[in-house]
Amino acid sequence: MTELVEHIRYTADVVCVRGGEVLLIERGWPPHKGALALPGGHVDPGETSRVAAARELAEETGITVHPDTLTFVGVWDAPDRDPRGRYVTAAYLATVPETTTAHAGDDATAVRWVPLNTPGPLAFDHTHIVATAREHQSTPHQ
């Protein structure tokens, strides 16, 4: 019997919230080039997903947060969530002051603050990640 080997790539995404808005990037590369998405990317060797999330947020938007301030939202691992192959992401919530500004960097060609309740269609499964983070944000945690 032939055993199939599946290569899994590990990523981290950030739902960055400022007041009632969420920060999105315009993707500069395929897949979904030009589409809006959450800031995020690959977890590098030796990194945790939390550290990678903070790093990717800074690289793509210029917003710096300490990894310990990120709130874990969940893991998204559907086999077909990314057309490039199997990608598993850990998503985090970052809440920043309402005066926070962002600028495009790294893989982002633009950044945009959009209403958290209606971010519109997003690349990959990011609409679902935002919805889950919004629910997470409004639920008291112990």
User: What's the CATH number for 8-138?
Assistant: 3.90.79.10
| Full-model pTM | 0.93
Instruction: Spell out the domain ranges in the chain.
Output: 8-138
- What does the pLDDT average to over 98-126? 95
* Tens of pLDDT, residues 30-83: 999 999 999 999 999 999 999 999 999 999 999 999 999 999 999 999 999 999
pLDDT at 121 over 90: yes
Average pLDDT of the chain is 94
Q: Which two tokens stand for residue 110?
A: 């633009």
Decide which of 106 and 130 is more confident.
130
For residue 139, pLDDT beyond 70: no
Separation between Cα atoms, residue 68 and residue 123, nearest integer Å? 27
**What tokens were used for 8?**
């899994």
Centre a 10 Å sphere on the Cβ of residue 78 and count the other Cβ atoms it contains: 12
